Amino acid sequence: MKVIIVDDELYICKLVQHLIDWQGLGLTLLGIFQNYEDTLQQFLTEPADILICDIEMPGKNGIEIIKEIKEKYPKCRSIVISGFRKFDYVHKAMQYGAANYLLKPIDEEELNRVLKEVVFKTREQYSRESIIAERNMRMGIYNAIRLGAIENDVMSVNLKYHYQFQEGRFNALKVSFADMDPASEQMQEAVRQFEDVVRKELSNVCYDMEVYHETIVSEIVFINYDAENEKRMVFILEQVLNDALSKVGSISEGRCIIGVGKSVSEISRVRDCMHSAEKAWCRCFYTERKEIFYAKNEEADDNQEKYTLSYEQKKEFRSMIEAIRPDDFVRCLREMFRNNAPLFRQKPELVLQFSTQLMEFFQLTMDELNAPVQDRNAFENKFEVLFFNSGSISRLTDQLGRLFSQEVIENLAEKQKNTLIYVQQAKNYIESNYAQAITLEKIAQQLHINPVYLSVIFKSEVGMNYSKYLTHVRMQKAKELLKRPELNISQVASAVGYDSTYYFTTLFKKETAIKPSEYRRLYQQDIMYGE
């Protein structure tokens, strides 16, 4: 570590230099300086790790020097030396980042003790930062794998992400911890115990390996091993994973579920391993009392059937959201899963596709109802946690139901209070503008709300959609106008918003069961018809 000594009195600098145990502390002197300008120039040329500085100097004093160096070089630690005992000097020095404060006359033992402490803390910080930087570099490969952005060159990958991969076989495991409270200490301990066993035992047979935490309940284990060990690796993995499961089982009654992917020989195809491991994991939904699932050949094939929500499924799911019926979510989901059971048993990976599409359709519907999910990333993370924390269809439906119903209650229930106001305003607008060309979009624009949302709440409160209500209002107005003999049928039609007399007549007959001319004649004969 490199040191700079700053004091306007040269003999003080020499004394400090003489008292420091350079070799014992592993320190190197970069220079001795007597003013701020020369000190800053040295930092520009080669920064120091430790600055030993006097407080009282001509020009900028030591406190000002420490402050500016701290701002420009935050990793540099400072030690102040002064003959003043005033507390405000000490306070300011510490406030601006000084690691310690020594008084003159300088005591050799005290100086080296302080330096030893600074060296230890600095090295500890560098070590911690180095570990974090190394970890971040290694973890960067996970996103690259997910995006399919890994080049097929092991050496390049090693340099870029700080691994020690070798040509051989690559594989991935999908691991989750189910039937446990994700926020519990039991869950955290289960994860730790599992990883301790896996890291310890697989490190002995792999060129390199890593564990990537996807959520608090799920992770991916990535391994690289000798191709000649391919067959033996099946038995090794079985033993290691059973040891890990046994360890988890000793501290928890929950399930640790593992999907083992199909291995590949090219590092650029590791994403295929992850996909096949995830598909294998999904078999847990229809297989009881089993924790390890090995990918089949068809699960390694990415060109498989994709699940798409049907129109009827979307319609039913949307109706529950629109009507704000959170209690029905679990019932509806159970029915959906039950109807899809034959397909899902045959292709369990479709359970994930189906659930993901429900989650995405839910967000889309909430957007259309003018009540968007506020934090999409947090919502999607909650979904992923509950999915991989479920382990069974019944638990999955319960948790999905709670997720959706909670969001509906939080976002739509508040809007429900304004429903009657919006609907009444829409009715008032129709009553006042029935003779004009009115559209739902135009009314929604006047009320500053989403037209889809207006359509939903209008029908819910009035019992008919907006267009039918508009027609009803126009026909009621037409009845009043037909009582006026000076207006012909064409004029009445135009007065209530219809350019076509024929179309008006058709709607009037549908509404009243008689033609406008017949209604007028009956009125003129003083016969009350249905009024």
Which CATH number does the domain housing residue 41 bear? 3.40.50.2300
176 lies in the same domain as 261: yes
- Strands 169-178 and 255-260: what pairing? antiparallel
268 lies in the same domain as 330: no
- Dist. CA 387–CA 385, nearest whole Å: 6
Which range (10-14, 40-44, 109-113, 326-330) has the least confidence?
Answer: 326-330
Q: Bridge-partner residues for 59, per DSSP?
A: none
pLDDT at res. 98 = 76
On whether the CB atoms of residues 145 and 55 are closer than 8 A, the answer is no
Of the pLDDT bands very low, low, confident and very high (cuts 50, 70, 90), residue 96 is low
- Dist. CA 45–CA 136, nearest whole Å: 30
Mean pLDDT score, 511-520: 88
On whether the CB atoms of residues 116 and 108 are closer than 8 A, the answer is no
267 lies in the same domain as 328: no
63 to 39, 102, 395, 445: CA distances (angstroms): 14, 14, 63, 63
Of the pLDDT bands very low, low, confident and very high (cuts 50, 70, 90), residue 320 is confident
Of the pLDDT bands very low, low, confident and very high (cuts 50, 70, 90), residue 258 is very high
pLDDT at res. 60 = 77
pLDDT single digits (tens) 58-74: 777 778 888 888 888 88
What does the angle CA 414 – CA 419 – CA 425 come to, to the nearest 5 degrees? 140
pLDDT at res. 196 = 94
In a domain, 144, yes or no: no
Of the pLDDT bands very low, low, confident and very high (cuts 50, 70, 90), residue 529 is very low
In a domain, 130, yes or no: no
167 lies in the same domain as 255: yes
What does the angle CA 140 – CA 146 – CA 148 come to, to the nearest 5 degrees? 100
In a domain, 504, yes or no: yes
Our CA dihedral for 379, 382, 388, 390, rounded to 10 degrees, sits at: -110
- Dist. CA 45–CA 228, nearest whole Å: 53
In a domain, 101, yes or no: yes
Which range (88-97, 223-232, 430-439) has the least confidence?
Answer: 88-97
In the predicted model, what is the mean pLDDT of the chain?
A: 86
Closest CA to 267 of 227, 298, 219, 213: 227
Looking at the predicted structure, is the pLDDT value of residue 418 above 80? Answer: no
> What single DSSP character describes residue 107?
P
What does the angle CA 247 – CA 391 – CA 286 come to, to the nearest 5 degrees? 115
In a domain, 365, yes or no: yes
Which residue in the block uniquely carries the two structure tokens 């048993």? Answer: 345
- Range among 27-31, 60-64, 94-98, 284-288 rated most confident: 27-31
In a domain, 142, yes or no: no
246 lies in the same domain as 213: yes
Between these two residues, 45 and 82, which has the higher pLDDT value?
A: 45
Looking at the predicted structure, is the pLDDT value of residue 342 above 70? Answer: yes
Of the pLDDT bands very low, low, confident and very high (cuts 50, 70, 90), residue 97 is low
Between these two residues, 501 and 417, which has the higher pLDDT value?
A: 501
Mean pLDDT score, 368-397: 90
Of the pLDDT bands very low, low, confident and very high (cuts 50, 70, 90), residue 90 is low
Looking at the predicted structure, is the pLDDT value of residue 306 above 80? Answer: no
- What is the distance in angstroms between the CA of the first residue and the CA of the last residue of the chain? 100
384 lies in the same domain as 423: no
286 lies in the same domain as 390: no
> What's the whole-model pTM score?
0.62
Q: What is the CATH number of the domain that holds 241?
A: 3.30.70.270
Report the percentage of the chain scoring pLDDT > 90.
41
Give 25's contacts (C-beta < 8 A, 6+ positions apart): 1, 112, 115, 116, 119
Report the percentage of the chain scoring pLDDT > 70.
92
Of the pLDDT bands very low, low, confident and very high (cuts 50, 70, 90), residue 220 is very high
In a domain, 236, yes or no: yes
- Dist. CA 531–CA 426, nearest whole Å: 26
Mean pLDDT score, 311-315: 86
Looking at the predicted structure, is the pLDDT value of residue 168 above 70? Answer: yes
pLDDT at res. 80 = 84
pLDDT at res. 531 = 46
Domain housing 324: 311-407
227 lies in the same domain as 335: no
Closest CA to 293 of 154, 396, 391, 204: 391
* Angle at which helices 270-281 and 108-146 cross, to 10°: 80
436 lies in the same domain as 518: yes
pLDDT at res. 239 = 94
- Amino acid 124 reads E
- Dist. CA 301–CA 258, nearest whole Å: 19
Last residue of a domain, one of 343, 378, 407: 407
Q: In which element (H, E) is residue 294 found?
A: strand 292-294
Which range (85-99, 127-141, 419-433) has the least confidence?
Answer: 85-99
In a domain, 386, yes or no: yes
Report the number of distinct structural domains present in the chain: 4
167 lies in the same domain as 290: yes
Q: Read off φ and ψ for residue 56, nearest 5 degrees.
A: -85, 110
Mean pLDDT score, 251-271: 92
Of the pLDDT bands very low, low, confident and very high (cuts 50, 70, 90), residue 89 is low
On whether the CB atoms of residues 316 and 332 are closer than 8 A, the answer is yes
Q: Read off φ and ψ for residue 29, nearest 5 degrees.
A: -85, 120
3-state secondary structure at position 168: coil
Last residue of a domain, one of 299, 327, 352: 299
- Dist. CA 493–CA 81, nearest whole Å: 98
pLDDT at res. 357 = 93
Give 410's contacts (C-beta < 8 A, 6+ positions apart): none
Looking at the predicted structure, is the pLDDT value of residue 530 above 50? Answer: no
275 lies in the same domain as 335: no
> What single DSSP character describes residue 326?
G
Mean pLDDT score, 76-97: 70
Secondary structure (H, E, C), 232-278: HHHHHHHHHHHHHHHHHHCCCCCEEEEEECCCECCHHHHHHHHHHHH
Give 266's contacts (C-beta < 8 A, 6+ positions apart): 152, 170
pLDDT at res. 358 = 93
423 lies in the same domain as 520: yes
Looking at the predicted structure, is the pLDDT value of residue 56 above 70? Answer: yes
| Sign (positive or negative) of CA dihedral 379, 385, 388, 391 | negative
Last residue of a domain, one of 407, 439, 463: 407
- Range among 59-68, 172-181, 367-376 rated most confident: 172-181
